[in-house]
Structure 1
């Protein structure tokens, strides 16, 4: 669905149409709102650049400043409507990249939490996992991003991996769903090939396998910062699950969490307290996904399918 957006910065009719259309197609509305926000950001950036200059020439006047301001605002609108600086894409990814019925009964809090998980950046060496804000939805996946497809495709692998740490498989899948938005935002190489990284584990100097560098949102002292970092890349989702199990088993800080793995709520709370994530609501977000009707329905279907095989 196309939305008539404001192509001229003084035209507010496009914004009025956007508000009306948002009730019909939130996916398209999110795309346009992200671009409008990027346009405002570019306007502020250009204004700051002008203010930081040494001053105008002898021919400058209030009138010339007025028209120059109009020009800058129109430039910002044009830039945002074309390639832009990438801010609109980041906003779309952070807000989910699409709000549709495929997420069933998930609440807005659950949905918005999926792609914007934060990870610690302490210990200097960067050995902790850091979830990426920048993902690629173009990578080829064996699922379409819906809870049913995601759980059905990964259930056998999750079941085998979860058994090694005494965690219910649906709990492990809930964490992967939070990290990747039900598989829609798995990190990818520049070639578009999937990294198969379902848990956002960062690649430190000890990691000898393949890597993928992406932009990531990290929190330092409660402040969100954008940076670029290397993350582990795998040849398959099986390797991602296996590495996650090995990662938590070998890391001393997560041993307390492992002793509570039979209780997913306690496990993820302990995992968060041990520094797995800086997001104070990380464990709650996983629990909401785990308790959601979408996950329960998908898990039950996967269990029944495994039983009949």
Structure 2
């Protein structure tokens, strides 16, 4: 009988804990629109700052600049994530077995044998340009041909197929990753950088 008040209190505390996120999300339409506008400004600032890197890598490797920029924006929260600011890692690449460079450890989605979350090892770079190049190397890695190899046979202007291929290849565990990439590309007109890079590539062949 003495455990009943305790159980009731626990139930109330648990209910409060799960209701807090809902209370925090009760924004007005005006507040939601203002927040979305601020996010878009941040994304556009990122594109203005790093689009040249995406074009450079597209010319070097054939990976669409739109895909490169969209992934960087999503993975690094437009360059503001802790991993991006402290390790210049804009694509969320983990260490893996082959990485021998600098590292940064932080909680992500890795678990131990008992199912508990443990710190994940992420690659750390000296420059953001290195991050862009390592991302290209990751997709072109011969050991990952079964996951990403066929992407390089796709039309370089077909960003939708590239986005779907990255999701199928397991780049992210998010079930709507491709949709998020496509939405980001179309919201910011990132496919225009694909056309610019392609024109530069064709001009260079003439």
Q: Same fold (TM over 0.5)?
A: yes
Q: Which structure 1 residue ranges, 5 or more long, are not aligned?
A: 1-60, 81-87, 93-97, 105-144, 304-309
Q: When the two structures are aligned, how many residues end up with a matched partner? A: 174
Match of 1:166 among 57, 62, 67: 62
Match of 2:160 in 1: 265
- Offset at 1:67? 6.9
- Offset at 1:68? 8.8
Match of 1:102 in 2: 38
Larger Rg: 1
1:285 matched to 2:144? The reply is no
Match of 2:97 in 1: 205
SS of equivalent residue, structure 2 residue 75: helix
C-alpha distance in structure 2 between counterparts of 1:261 and 1:248, whole Å: 16
SS of equivalent residue, structure 2 residue 106: strand
Match of 1:176 among 72, 84, 102: 72
Match of 1:237 among 97, 121, 128: 128
- Offset at 1:286? 0.3
Cα-to-partner distance string for 1:9-55 (whole Å, 9 max, x where unaligned): xxxxxxxxxxxxxxxxxxxxxxxxxxxxxxxxxxxxxxxxxxxxxxx
Whether the aligned pair in 2 keeps the contact of 1:150 and 1:183 (CA below 8 Å) is yes
- Offset at 1:155? 1.2
C-alpha distance in structure 1 between counterparts of 2:151 and 2:82, whole Å: 25
- Offset at 1:72? 9.8
Change beyond 3 A, Cα 1:172–1:68: closer
Superposition TM-score, scaled by structure 1 size: 0.47
RMSD: 3.7
Whether the aligned pair in 2 keeps the contact of 1:165 and 1:261 (CA below 8 Å) is no
Higher helix share: 2
Change beyond 3 A, Cα 1:205–1:218: closer
Cα-to-partner distance string for 1:75-107 (whole Å, 9 max, x where unaligned): xx8xx8xxxxxxx8xx99xxxxx9613124xxx
C-alpha distance in structure 1 between counterparts of 2:174 and 2:9, whole Å: 41
Whether the aligned pair in 1 keeps the contact of 2:67 and 2:162 (CA below 8 Å) is no
C-alpha distance in structure 2 between counterparts of 1:226 and 1:247, whole Å: 25
Whether the aligned pair in 2 keeps the contact of 1:209 and 1:233 (CA below 8 Å) is yes
Superposition TM-score, scaled by structure 2 size: 0.68
Match of 1:296 in 2: 189
Q: Where in structure 2 are the equivalents of 1:28-47 lying within 5 Å?
A: none
- Offset at 1:290? 0.5
Match of 1:194 among 86, 97, 108: 86
Change beyond 3 A, Cα 1:204–1:168: closer
SS of equivalent residue, structure 1 residue 205: coil
Whether the aligned pair in 1 keeps the contact of 2:63 and 2:136 (CA below 8 Å) is no
Match of 2:109 in 1: 217
Cα-to-partner distance string for 1:93-136 (whole Å, 9 max, x where unaligned): xxxxx9613124xxxxxxxxxxxxxxxxxxxxxxxxxxxxxxxx
